[in-house]
Structure 1
Amino acid sequence: MERTWSKEIQEALAAPFQPEEIDFLPRTPQNGRALALPYIGARSVMQRLDAVVGPENWSFDFDVISPPAGTGTWVKGRLTVLGITKCDAGEGGDEDEPLKSAVSDALKRCAVHFGVGRYLYYLPKLWAPYDATRRRFVETPQWPAGAIERAVAVSAGGPVAVAKSTASEGGPEGGPEGTPSLAPRASATGTVPAPRCSAAGCGRSITRAQHDVSVRGFGRPLCPACQRQQARASA
């Protein structure tokens, strides 16, 4: 059966990666710590595309282009997913295989246009213990609880499903004890109210997926715009 672009496919492509798929580049080492910049490999991008749309439903090609200021190796990549094409440039740097590096960089950058790994750009700055002699982090950098969920929600930028009630309830219908239920409550007539943003003066309708991500990441249902505002305020 021929597949077509859908909201479900978009959300699946934009889903966060497993921790073991994320690597970190150390930057600005000082006083035994370094800024950890997260990134994913081209192989993880290809595996995500294969898993979500199937290997027969996406393709990638590139052209070598003139580098800015005449330095390095640059390519223009074109990633086509379910008939939709996105373009971006990739840089090879000073590696032993600059063309291969540039192609991988272009693939990853094109994939970001489809949402793959986009949330990594919205994560808060992360400093971690770093061994400058061995050029490696002493331990795997870890973001605080809820940071990934907030980044995914902010990077999506669409409407978010949210319920007004954030009353804490344990048990089958609620979250763990002391956390808000993720599902809107049924009214006395048995109907479930549409989830809405709980920010003062907002009240926008949001989707169920947005509601769940927002409650886990922010502790209450917020629309995408209010999530971005709160994320910036707490950055």
Structure 2
Amino acid sequence: MPTEDMKPNPEPDPIFTQLAEPFDPSEIKWRVTHTNRDGNRGAVIAFADPRAYTDRLNQLFTPTGWTRTYDVSTVSSVTRMKKDKLIQTGKVLVTCTLTITGLGCHAGSGEDWADEENAMTAAEAQAFKRACSCFGLGRYLYNFTEMWVPLNEYRQPVEFPKLPHWALPKGDNTGKPHPAAGSRPPAVQRGPIDQKTTARIEGFRRILGDPIYGEILWRIAQARQANAIPNAQLQANVAEAMERASRGFSKAHSLAQQIGETSFIAILDKLRIESMTTIPRLEMLKALVAEFEREAARTAA
């Protein structure tokens, strides 16, 4: 029986839920790992290209909200069986460290035989995906069990397995690729821009800090600088969004004065925010204001 001292499990951070969301079926590919003796059936595993991972990271954090670094080493004088022959080769070993602003960093490792074509690219992709899985991104792909499919004379799948419901994005029950899914959005129409609006947008950088300023620019206009916004309508949309965010900052500063320095610092530490100018994303700003409001209400009671 629960006691009064027991606290319910905290709500999961929405950003981790979005990271763990399965890819669109159109992003899923299948690789044959081995075949039966006759070669007419093969076991397949599901995977997604690194582009699907980078697209998700860009969507959630913008291109400036995450980084990755690679550490490469090699091992020589290794023997392996290849096409029924024992050959002398080596291995390429890669460690990828993925850092997401406000969430921290994780590392993943990858390797491939040095004699394989594109060994470095394959090892880097494997390391990057494993680092992403530490944040929950693409981790569900490891839950697939071995599935067998018929193969053609070239030992390629004749048909692919239907994805189970747990491997589908929310709202998708078919398991089949969407024809338009995964395709690049059409180019945004470029047109005249207003220089005064550009200057106004640039003025929000000091108020919002680089992370949130960059997030709004990218999410609304797919731009990294105010003068790169393609048209006046998108300029207006960006300015409006930044105005709303600045009101959120004003509210946060006002509440911070009400609750006092001790509570202010404690809440920043709880949310892992270094300062008001380095809040990593809009969702975190909303969470900060909510925490300040709860503390202000508790103090006033």
With the shorter chain as reference, the TM-score category is: 0.5 to 0.7
SS state of the match for residue 137, structure 1? coil
Unaligned runs of 5+ residues in structure 2 are 1-11, 79-89, 169-301
- Percent identical pairs in the alignment equals 29
Name the counterpart of 1:76.
95
Query: Which is helix-richer, 1 or 2?
Result: 2
Provide the TM-score with structure 1 as the length reference: 0.55
- Is structure 2 residue 44 aligned with structure 1 residue 36? yes
1:160-194: CA deviations, max 9, x gaps?
A: xxxxxxxxxxxxxxxxxxxxxxxxxxxxxxxxxxx
CA distance in structure 1 between the partners assigned to 2:165 and 2:120 by the alignment: 38
- Is structure 2 residue 79 aligned with structure 1 residue 60? no
Give yes or no for contact 1:92–1:105 (8 Å, CA) kept in 2.
Answer: no
| 2:21 equivalent among 15, 28, 33 | 15
CA distance in structure 1 between the partners assigned to 2:48 and 2:76 by the alignment: 25
- Greater shift, 51-60 or 84-93, is seen at 84-93
Name the counterpart of 1:48.
56
CA distance in structure 1 between the partners assigned to 2:50 and 2:167 by the alignment: 21
Describe how 1:177-188 pairs up with structure 2 within 5 A: none
CA distance in structure 1 between the partners assigned to 2:146 and 2:17 by the alignment: 24
Give yes or no for contact 1:33–1:128 (8 Å, CA) kept in 2.
Answer: yes
Check 1:139–1:63 CA distance in 2 against 1; reply closer, same or farther (3 A cut): same
The higher radius of gyration belongs to: 2
CA distance in structure 2 between the partners assigned to 1:55 and 1:80 by the alignment: 12
SS state of the match for residue 95, structure 1? coil
Describe how 1:53-202 pairs up with structure 2 within 5 A: 53-67=61-75, 70=78, 71-83=90-102, 84-93=104-113, 94-131=115-152, 133-143=153-163, 145-148=164-167
- Greater shift, 95-104 or 61-70, is seen at 61-70
Name the counterpart of 1:209.
none
1:23-74: CA deviations, max 9, x gaps?
A: 1111231252211111111111111111111111100001112449752111
Flag as ranges the 4+ runs of structure 1 deviating above 6 A. none
SS state of the match for residue 48, structure 1? helix
Check 1:74–1:19 CA distance in 2 against 1; reply closer, same or farther (3 A cut): same
CA distance in structure 1 between the partners assigned to 2:95 and 2:132 by the alignment: 13
CA RMSD of aligned residues (A): 2.1
TM-superposed CA distance for 1:96, in Å, is 2.5
Give yes or no for contact 2:149–2:161 (8 Å, CA) kept in 1.
Answer: yes
CA distance in structure 1 between the partners assigned to 2:150 and 2:55 by the alignment: 31
